Every structure is written in C-alpha cells, then in structure tokens.
Amino acid sequence: MIITRIVGGLGNQMFQYAVGRALSIESRQPLKLDLTEMERYKVHACQLDQLNIIYDVADRREIPHSPRKSVFGKLVNSLKNKGRIPQLFEKTQSFDPNIMNWRRPAHLSGYWQSEKYFARHGDIIRQDFSLKQPCSHLRQGFLSKIRSVETPISVHVRRGDYVTNHRANTIHGTCEPSWYQKAMAMMATKAASPTFFIFSDDPKWAKANLPQYEGAVFVEPQADGKDAEDMHLMAACHSHIIANSTFSWWGAWLNPRDDKRVIAPAQWFRSAEQDSTDIVPSTWERL
C-alpha cells in the first residue's frame, strides 16, 4: 500500500494527497491517509472530506514510527518499525523523480509542492478534488457572478499568519500592493473586459491597498470551514493572480482551461534558504 501523511492547511493536504494518489496509480497499490498528525494539529482541520477523494484511513499499526536523532532512539525505532512499510521523506523542496519511480509499499512524509509529481494524472486528480456537495447559497451567488462576466479573474491576497506569525513571515513574506498593481495591470491590458474577483483572509486590507478597478468583486471569507468552496470559486474564473500560497495555487491549477493565464510571485519565499524552483508550473508567469 501507499500511505501519505496529511498535515497543514487545505492546500498542503491536497499536495500530500495528490502525490500519494499518483504514486498509488503508478505502482498499482491502494492509497491510505495517515491522519495521526492532524489529530494533534491545532492550526487547521482536515478538510479533504469536502472533496471526492478516494482513500482509506491508515491504521496506527500500519504507520511507521517517526525517526529519532539519538543512537538509542534510532535503535528503538528500527525495532518498532520492523515489518512495517519503508518511509520516504521529502529531502528537497525541488521535484525528486526517484519518488515516482518507487514501486514498493511506502509511507510518504513531506509537502511535495510540485505539479511534476502528479501532472501525468491531472484529470484524475481534478476529479478527485471536485466538490462533494454544491456550494453554499452565498457562494452560489458569487459563482453566478463569475459565470455572468466575460473574463473573470481571481486575485488572491494571503495575509493571516503570514503577517501575524513571525516565523511564517520570515519564511514566506507577503506580496506587496505594488506587486498586485503590476499583476492586475498586466491582466487588464491583455484580457478582454476583465472583472477581478478578489479573495482574501483580510478583505479590509485588500480593499484599502489593491487598485480600484470598476466592477471588482470582493469575495468575503466565510467562517463555515468550507474553504474548498472558495477554492472552487477561484477555479471557476478564466485566469488567476495568485499569492505565494498553496491555496490559490490550487485555485489556479484546478481550472482546466488551456487558455488560462496565471501570474504568480517570482519570489515565492522571503527566506533565501527555501527553494521554489518547481513550485510554479512552467506554463505560468512569474512576476
């Protein structure tokens, strides 16, 4: 079997599922999810159940014990993990082709933020990530607006813990108003009759700092835990301006249009120690 560890927000959960799903297809093995870390993870809930994903939950007896650094700890782990499936850890943030060449049972642990892990199975992944239930009434209203205009363009402004959490801010940083001004101007000069649909976890900041385009629609965040619905509203747009965020990454990727245009930050991470080489697909623009 293939077991993939799930942890983080919805965007990260989707990357972890996608690599596990792709490897399970490639190796012809069933997929199970390791949800043990989500049981103690207090920042985000597991939201994959909003989607039409195919999986079983791994039993604790099937999950290898986490590695330990000490010599004694490694010895104890080797004994505890005897007979359990091997662990495959993400060693680098760039795409590792060795992962997709694996054909034996495995427990995957990492973030796997690259389309290259699952691009060959894009149609299946998009189907898995379709919504189980129709959007809520309020979001249906936004969806109708998106479908009613000639060229809807999603704009995602990620702030939240990227601003309030010092560690997150040091690693990720945020896209500045000047970046959004350039990205939106680029879209406006090439798109026919663009209408910007602005998604943000800080709509007050977005309204005060983003360029004022006529007809722009601010999609207010909801506190109902149905974030996948907002992601699918993004995906319903023609083109996308995404933040350095896996949430809007998926909003753009789930859009199957061949003629979509996606503008992503050239500087995905503020920290120079992080590698974003393979995060943004080659067909997307980096600004």
Contact (CB, 8 A) for 1 and 105: yes
Q: CB burial class (10 A; 0-12, 13-18, 19+) of residue 15?
A: buried
Residue type, 118: F
- The strand order across the sheet containing 31-34 reads 56-57, 31-34, 2-5, 106-109, 87-89
Instruction: Give the residue carrying structure tokens 């969806």.
Output: 143
Q: CB burial class (10 A; 0-12, 13-18, 19+) of residue 257?
A: exposed
Residue 195 corresponds to which tokens in the numbers above?
């209408």
Question: What is the model's pLDDT at position 73?
Answer: 46
The continuous run of DSSP H or E covering 184 comes out as helix 177-190
For the whole model, what pTM was predicted? Answer: 0.90
d(CA 182, CA 103): 45
- Return averaged pLDDT per consecutive 10 residues of the chain, 287 residues in all: 95 97 97 92 86 93 71 48 79 93 96 97 98 94 96 87 52 78 94 92 91 92 92 98 95 97 88 81 95
Question: What is the model's pLDDT at position 40?
Answer: 84
Contact (CB, 8 A) for 260 and 238: yes
* Length of the chain in terms of residues written: 287
Question: What is the model's pLDDT at position 50?
Answer: 96
Neighbour-count burial for 68-77, b at 16+ CB within 10 Å, e otherwise? eeeeeeeeeb
Contact (CB, 8 A) for 31 and 24: yes
Q: For residue range 116-141, what is the model confidence (pLDDT) as tens digits? A: 999 999 999 999 999 999 999 999 99
d(CA 261, CA 257): 9
